[in-house]
Chain A
Amino acid sequence: MSNLDGFEKIVKDKLQQQQYDYDSSQWNAIEKRLPPPKKGFPWKYIAAASTFTIASILLWQLQNTENQPVKTSDISISALTDSLKITSKESYISNSTKQIDEGIESAIIVDDHALIEMDQTGQIDEPENVDNTIEKVVINQVPVEPLLKDETQEYSNLSEIDKVDPQSSKIARPSAQFTITAKEACVGEKLTFNSLNKLEDTRYNWDFGNGETSENRFPVYSYKVPGIYYVQLKATSTKHEEIINVSDKIAIQINPTPSVDFSWVENTYNAVPTVEFTNLSEHADSWNWNFQNGIISDEKNPIITFKKKGFYQITLTASNVHGCVKISQQELEVVTDYNLLAPNSFTPNADGINDDFIPEALKILNVGFEMTIFDKRGLIYQSRSLSNPWTGENQRDGGFCTQGAYVWIVKYKNQQGIDQIYKGTINLLH
C-alpha cells in the first residue's frame, strides 16, 4: 500500500533502519526451549509424564476455583506460580512427544496466560487511556476461570499459523492428489488417472470435466472430443463423511486424432499395371504406407505396381502435428504376376520370329532404361536403347551365347522418379 501520508512514511523509514547486534545469549535461551535433537534419552518422556501430573493437578485446582471471587483464585494462582514456570518450560519438551492429551495442552496455555495476566495487572502503563478503567472493572468482575477459558479459545483463533483443524490432526485426511499418464493426449487415447492417496476407507469422485465421472481409485478413461478438460478428484473418508479433500482442477488437452481410410483403383491394362491409392484420411499431416511388397511410401496418394500375384495387407498410418496416430489396414488382391511383359524365351536364329529379347513393356513406356543380361560368370550384355535388344551376343568375349537360361535385369525411373527394378530369366534357344 503506497497511500501512506508523510508522517507515516517518516516513521516507517525510521523503523526500517532498526538494527540489532547478534546476541549469542539469545540463541542459548532459545536452544534451551527447543525440543532436544532426535536421539535424546527418554528424559522427555519422564518430563512429559511429570508435566502431565502437574498439569492435571493444576487443572483440577483451577476447576475447583470456579464461581469463586477473584481474590481467592488470585492467591491460588500466585501460590502456584513457581511450579507453573516449570511446566511452561517443559511444555515444549512435551509438545515434541505429541502424545499428550489435548486437555493438558490447553491447561498449559492457560497457565502461561495466567502468568502474564498476573504480571500485567500489576503494572498498567497507560494512565492516559480512558479505556483502562473499563478494563480494570472487567477484570475484577469476571471470575478467573471463565475468563481464562475465553482466552484459550481466542488463542487458537488468533494464531493463524498455529491454526490446525483439531479433526484433521487426529483423523487422517485422504489425499486428493493424483497423476495422469499424460496431460496432453489424443482423442480415444486411454488415460490412467492415478490417485496418490494411500489411505483405505476412501471414496473417490472423479470429475473428468465433461460431465462424466468415475468412482474408481485408478480409472482409465478416454475422451471422444478434442478440447481442454479440467479434471478434479474429491477424496472423502468413508469413516467420516466430513473429512474431504478436493484437488485442484487439472487441465488436460485432448488433441484431434486423424481419421484414416483409403481406397484404390487398379489399372490392369496399362503397359505397367498400377494401383492408384486414394487417401481418405482427415486431421492428418503425414502418412506412411506399407504395401507389404518391400515398398513403403510417405506420399499422400501413391501409385504402386505389384509384380507378384497374391494378397497384400496394405497399411496406412496417418499422423498429425500433435503426434496423434491412427492406422488402417486393408487387403488387396493382385491376380497376375507382372514382369514388364517380358517373354521367357527367344530364338536368335534369324528366322524373323522371336529373334531378340527385350521386355515388351519398355517398348510402350517410352522411358530411359538400362537392361543387363547375366550368365553364371557375370555380365555379358548391356543396353540402354530400344533399338539394341539382346540378340544373344556376348559382349564380354565378343562371341555368341550358347543355349541356356540367362538372367535379365531392367532398371528405370517411373514418373514419380522412383527406381524400378525388374528381374527375370530368359531361355535362349537355338
Chain B
Amino acid sequence: MAHQYPQAGRCIQQVTQQVWNVESPTGQSSYNYVNIPNSNKSFSIKETGSLLVVESYTQGWLASSGSGCDATIYWNSGSSGGVLGRGSSSNGNGWSRSGNGGDSYRSFNIGRIHHIDHGLTAGSTIEIGLSFGAWNTTGASVNYANYKSLMGWWCMEFSREGV
C-alpha cells in the first residue's frame, strides 16, 4: 500500500543543485554506490517532521566494459540516511536501470523521484547529493573524455502541519 500524507500540502522550501562537467567519482566497484563530486548541498530543515520530495537527473557513460549502472540520491550518511532506492547487491539485474551486462559505449540518462522521511527537527542540517553505481565493472563514469554531463537534483520540503 502506498504511503499517504494527508497534511503534506504546502511547499515551505525548495532547494536545487546542478552541476556541469563533474569528475567521475572514485572508489567505484561492483554493486557499490559512490557519491558524485560537487553534486551535494547542505541546508536547514524548516519544519520538524516535514516531508522532502527530491527529483534527480543524471547523465553519464558506459565505457568499454560491459555493465549496467544506476544513479540516485543520498542524504546524510550512516544509520539515519544513505542511498535511496539502490539496486540489490545480490542481484545484478537490479542494476539495469540503464544498460545491462554486455552493454558498452552507451550513454545513460536517468531521472528519479524519491521522498525522504528525515525525522529531523527544525533547524537541523541535511545534506543531499547524487550517487552513482555500476553493476559488475568499473567501466561506467559520469564524465568520460570531456563529456560535459549536466546533472542535478531539486528538493521540495512539504509541511505536514495545519494551515
Chains A and B come from one and the same complex:
no
